[in-house]
Amino acid sequence: MARLRCVLVLALLLVTTQLPGDAIAGRGHGHHGPAAHDYRDALAKSILFFEGQRSGKLPPSQRQSWRRDSGLSDGASAKVDLVGGYHDAGDNVKFGFPMAFSMTMLAWSVVEFGGLMKGELQHAREAVRWGADYLLKATAHPDTIYVQVGDATKDHACWERPEDMDTPRTVYKVDAGTPGSDVAAETAAALAASSLVFRKSDPAYASRLLARAKRVFAFADRHRGSYSTGLAADVCPYYCSYSGYQDELLWGAAWLHRATKSPTYLSYIQLNGQVLGADESDNTFGWDNKHAGARILIAKSFLVQRVASLHEYKGHADTFICSMVPGTPTDQTQYTRGGLLFKLSDSNMQYVTSSAFLLLTYAKYLAFAKETVTCGGGAVVTPQRLRAIARRQVDYLLGSNPMGMSYMVGYGPRYPRRIHHRASSLPSVAAHPGRIGCSQGFTALYAGGANPNVLVGAVVGGPDLQDKFPDQRNDHEHSEPATYINAPLVGALAYLAHSYDQL
C-alpha cells in the first residue's frame, strides 16, 4: 500500500538536484535513430496489468488466467452491490480514492492518446469500463458514495489470495453527515473522464456516466470536507488526503467542463479557481494532489479551444512545467544519478509515470497552439524538450538504467521477480485448489524464490535514490505495483509507440 507521507512531501519541495541537460532530457528535437524500447509491447502489457487487479466475477475474456473470481459478496454487509472494481495494489482492499484517480488517469490516457492505440484501444476501453462500472455502483444512492470495501488493518494482517479472502469486507461511505469532497470530486472526475472514452463507441453509457458525474460533483461541492476527517481510523495511514479537498474540486470541475463544455463549470472554475489553489506552486502530481493535473487540463481550454478567460492557466501550467525542467531557474525536481525523477522513496515510480504523462500531454497542447514555455531568465522550453524529458523517464522505467532492469513485470529480459503482491506471490487456485489461510500465506511473503504467477505489465515502486533495487517481496516501498502507477503510463506508451511507428 504505497503511502504518501505529508512530511516528506513538504521536504522534497525544498530539494533540488540539477544534472546536465543531456543526462536527463537529451538535446534532440524529435526522434532520431531507432527506438530504445518496444513501446508497443510495453503498452499492451501496461493495459493487461489491470486484469490482474480485477475484483469480482471475471469475464470469459480474462487474460491473466491465473486469477479467479473474488469478492462476490462485497457490499452485502451494507445491503448494496459493490462487486467488481480493482484492488489498488498488492493487497485485497478496494480503496475508492486511489481507484477513482487511477480511472481518471486511465481514461485521460485513452482520451488523449487512444486514437494512436490501434489494436490496444479496445483493451484500454475494457479496463476503463471495469472501473467505471464499479464507480456507478459506488454512487448509486444520491448524496452517498461508498469509498472503501475491506477493513484495511485486518487485511494487512493477512497474506492471502483475493480468492480466499476471509477478512471483514467492511463497507465505508461518505455522505452529507460525513463529507468527503476529495474522494467525491475525484470520483466525479473519473466518471466524467470515462464518459469521454465512450462518447462515440457507446453514447448511452457515456451519457449515464456523465449524468452521474454531475450529481456526484454537486454533492462534493455542497457538502465540503475531507474524507480523512470522518474516516481517519479506516483510510489513514493508507490513503489519507493530505492535500485537502480543494485540488479535487478544481480537478473535478475541470473534467466536467471538458466533458460538457457547459458554461456552468467554466463559471465555477473562474469564480473558485484561486480559492481552490489554481496558482499553488506544488509540483507533485498523484493520487493525493491534483493541482498540477488540473492546471494542465484547464490550460488546454485556452491553448486549444481558445477560451480567453482561462488564459491565466497557461501561466499556472507553465510554472509547473518550469519546475520539472532541469537547468531552468525554477527547477524544483530531484533526479537520481541515473536520470530518474525522484520524489519519494515510497512508490516513487507513480510520480515518474504521472509526470511523464503531463509533460507529453502539455507538449501536445503547446504544439497545437504553436506555443512554448518561457521559464525564468528567458529560458524557452519547447514541446520537443518536454517530450524528450518524458521519453527519458519511460526509457529508464523500461530498462535504460544503471541496473539494466525493467521495472515493468514481464517486459524485457530482466524485471522484478518477487513483487509485493499477494495474488502473484501465492500459488494460483489452479495450482493449489485448497484454501491458503491468513497467516499461512506469510511463508510466501518471506520466501526467496520468484513469484509463481507473473503479473504481466505491473510496474513496481522502483529503485531508490541511488538507482538500486533489491527485488525483495517484503519491501513494499520499492516492490509493490499499483493501478495509479500504470494508468498514466498507458498514455505515455501509446504516444511513444506511435511516434516510433510501432503501432
Torsion 232-236-242-244 (CA) sign: negative
Look at residue 324 and tell me whether its pLDDT is greater than 80. Answer: yes
CB under 8 Å to 115, separation ≥6 — which residues?
A: none
Q: If you average pLDDT over residues 14-36, what whole number do you get?
A: 44
Look at residue 378 and tell me whether its pLDDT is greater than 90. Answer: no
Whole-angstrom Cα distance, residue 167 to residue 150?
7
Whole-angstrom Cα distance, residue 407 to residue 350?
12
Whole-angstrom Cα distance, residue 333 to residue 323?
6
Condensed to tens digits (0 to 9), the pLDDT of residues 455-475 reads 999 999 999 999 999 999 999
Look at residue 290 and tell me whether its pLDDT is greater than 90. Answer: yes
Look at residue 316 and tell me whether its pLDDT is greater than 60. Answer: yes
DSSP string, 153-168: HHHHT----GGG--S-
Q: If you average pLDDT over residues 294-309, what whole number do you get?
A: 96
Length of the chain in terms of residues written: 503
Q: If you average pLDDT over residues 213-242, what whole number do you get?
A: 96
Structural contact between residues 139 and 145, judged by C-beta atoms closer than 8 angstroms: yes
Q: Which amino acid is at 291?
A: H
Whole-angstrom Cα distance, residue 247 to residue 406?
33
Q: If you average pLDDT over residues 206-220, what whole number do you get?
A: 98
Q: Which residue in 420, 421, 476, 478 is the catalytic one?
A: 420
Is residue 37 part of the annotated active site? The answer reads no
- Identify the pLDDT of residue 34: 87
Helix 121-138 with 39-52: angle, nearest 10 deg: 30
Look at residue 15 and tell me whether its pLDDT is greater than 70. Answer: no
Torsion 425-428-432-435 (CA) sign: positive
Print the SS3 string covering 390-408: HHHHHHHHHCCCCCCCCCE
Whole-angstrom Cα distance, residue 454 to residue 53?
12
Condensed to tens digits (0 to 9), the pLDDT of residues 399-437 reads 999 999 999 999 999 999 999 999 999 999 999 999 999
Predicted confidence band of residue 23 (pLDDT cuts 50, 70, 90): very low
Residue 291: C-alpha distances to residues 246, 280, 363 (Å)? 9, 7, 18
Q: Grid coordinates representing 106?
A: 486511465
Residue 354: C-alpha distances to residues 270, 286, 361, 415, 490 (Å)? 26, 7, 11, 21, 10
Whole-angstrom Cα distance, residue 503 to residue 500?
8
Q: Quote helix, strand, coil % in the chain, to nearest 5.
A: 50, 5, 45
Which 3 state secondary structure label does DSSP give 148?
strand
Structural contact between residues 200 and 207, judged by C-beta atoms closer than 8 angstroms: no
Question: Average pLDDT of the chain?
Answer: 93
pTM: 0.94
Helix (H) or strand (E) holding 40: helix 39-52
Structural contact between residues 48 and 82, judged by C-beta atoms closer than 8 angstroms: no
Q: If you average pLDDT over residues 247-259, what whole number do you get?
A: 98
Q: If you average pLDDT over residues 376-395, what whole number do you get?
A: 95
Look at residue 4 and tell me whether its pLDDT is greater than 60. Answer: no
Whole-angstrom Cα distance, residue 46 to residue 34?
22
Residue 43: C-alpha distances to residues 38, 53, 306, 407, 502 (Å)? 9, 17, 32, 14, 11
